Chains A and B, each alone.
Chain A
């Protein structure tokens, strides 16, 4: 076991490819836990960010600055009564959230956090990802149907029609990015997620800037379609609370409802990962073509430590700025401890960055590299997450026919055109 444990650290391949089942399992656990934590954090972040967009403070009571709010929410949801309507189809009602959740989480098996930091590197990675994420529709449709109620049914039909329509534009945009991977000597592209990032690495450019503005257009189309695909504002028709109360999960409550939320946020992170992988260079740091000297590598490797250091500083500042009243004693202490934790984490990262600064095959260097990869990947995904929140704060909701019009009459032709032009340009460039 130890050898299998250690062998991976020196390996060039993801555990799925290398056949290292132990590490694949570890990764699955890490990713499952990580995504769940990310969803929880995202929940807090969304409430806080949205609140600040809307000139209010958001959760402040549970924990310092509401940091423990998600946990309180989770507890509340777990303890709530689990209602299944009498006329509902019991089995399907029970299965539906699981389908959605399963689809959302299965996608992560191929998300490349780094060249070897993934569960597996499937040959059909992106195909797999699109396919499995499209299974999420099934969860929604069945949930809406099983509730045996009008609002959920309309919501389910809406959302599945929406997801199916936007999948087309999304797929075409993805294909135009995949076409770009084939611009190498051998002329063969790849569908593997890791391969796509490596293609960007070899070509020395993020695909968003490739054939400017073709890559950018395809990216923008994907970025819009992925919002629609995840049923988020301004495309959140399926759960438009002002029209359909809560859409397909109107009849859901408690734990089951939270599963839907979990699936939704996990799906958001998943599609963001696709966007990052396909267009934003995946795990690469910015300007991979210009700033690739060892000195730059070192500077970039300090970023994780700096980020956590910065967060720690902000938390300390927050603790210091708490009102001096004795009511806030515990909160202040909690925030200080949190800040200290962040600080320790920053220090650890700093140590790793400095210990592994030479690009050799030592464990420290491997660790440092891994952390870098994951850091940049997660950072880019986080930017998307912020965008999701921003959209929600800014835009009204589309109407259903307008949504369909945008999907079929605007996005689809544009993405088709981009695909064709990309193919032509690709041939000409070759």
Chain B
């Protein structure tokens, strides 16, 4: 009934949001104070949520905001406040093997880049000749996105859904028991 939302200024928003996300990510891993890191992470999460909206995944975007930004990050902030940080702020921030870590991460980045480059040019499907990363041709109706995800969650992914619920239950119990004062 409603017309599909037509994306506006897509490139602009994409670069804005991804820029925010990456800057946030950089801040997360560089700040001394964990609270600042957490705030930066929130920025990243919200930016990623915006990217989901651009990808016609409003439900995932909503879940991202509610669960991540509203739930998990509050938990993080809570914990950061509980464990005192005055000492850790003054200490060395990186461990002794950080060059190795950065090197490994750089190798990983190189891997990604090379795969993407290859995927764009070489790795096309030999049979159909289609590239590995086709441009999105089939448009998803985002007006019924939530309904469809619901149908899939309760249909195809029934087991996974149930197991996820069980996982959450176990996590709750585990977290409660571990965070208890006296075990």
Contacts and interface: CB of A to CB of B under 8 A. Distances in A.
B35 A138 contact: no
A18 B74 contact: no
Contact of A191 (B2, B5, B146): B146
A19 B6 contact: yes
Contact of B78 (A17, A157, A188, A191): A157
Nearest to A161: B78
Interface in B108-130: none
Contacts of A300: none
B93 to A, nearest CB: 17
A124 B146 contact: yes
A124 B61 contact: yes
A92 B39 contact: yes
Nearest to A127: B62
Interface string A113-156: 00000000111100110111011011001100110000001001
Nearest to A120: B5
B70 to A, nearest CB: 3
A131 B46 CA distance: 11
Contact of A138 (B33, B74, B144): B74
B80 to A, nearest CB: 8
A95 interface: yes
Nearest to A160: B74
Interface in A1-48: 13, 16-19, 21
Interface string A144-182: 011000000100110010001001000000000000000
B70 A131 contact: yes
A188 B35 contact: no
Contacts of B144: 123, 188
Interface string A240-271: 00000000000000000000000000000000
A87 to B, nearest CB: 11
Given A121-B2, A124-B146, A131 B69 contact: yes
B147 A135 contact: no
Nearest to B145: A123
Interface in A296-326: none
Nearest to A187: B147
B61 to A, nearest CB: 7
A235 to B, nearest CB: 18
A295 interface: no
B74 A164 contact: yes
Contacts of B61: 124
A199 B33 CA distance: 48
Contacts of B58: 122-124, 128
Contacts of A135: 65, 69-70
Contact of B142 (A13, A123, A138): A123
B77 A145 contact: yes
A357 B81 CA distance: 60
Interface string B1-20: 01101101000000000000
Nearest to A128: B62
Interface string B38-65: 0100100000000000000011011101
A122 B59 CA distance: 10
Contacts of A153: 81
B71 interface: yes
A89 interface: yes
A188 B147 contact: yes
A127 B66 contact: yes
5 contacts: A19-B3, A92-B35, A124-B62, A141-B74, A157-B81
Given A123-B145, A134-B69, A141-B81, 17 more contacts: A17-B2, A18-B3, A19-B3, A19-B8, A92-B36, A95-B39, A123-B146, A127-B146, A130-B66, A131-B70, A134-B65, A135-B69, A141-B78, A142-B39, A156-B81, A157-B81, A160-B74
10 cross-chain pairs, A with B, having the tightest CB-CB distances, nearest first:
A134-B70, A131-B65, A127-B62, A131-B66, A124-B62, A19-B6, A124-B58, A141-B77, A123-B58, A188-B147
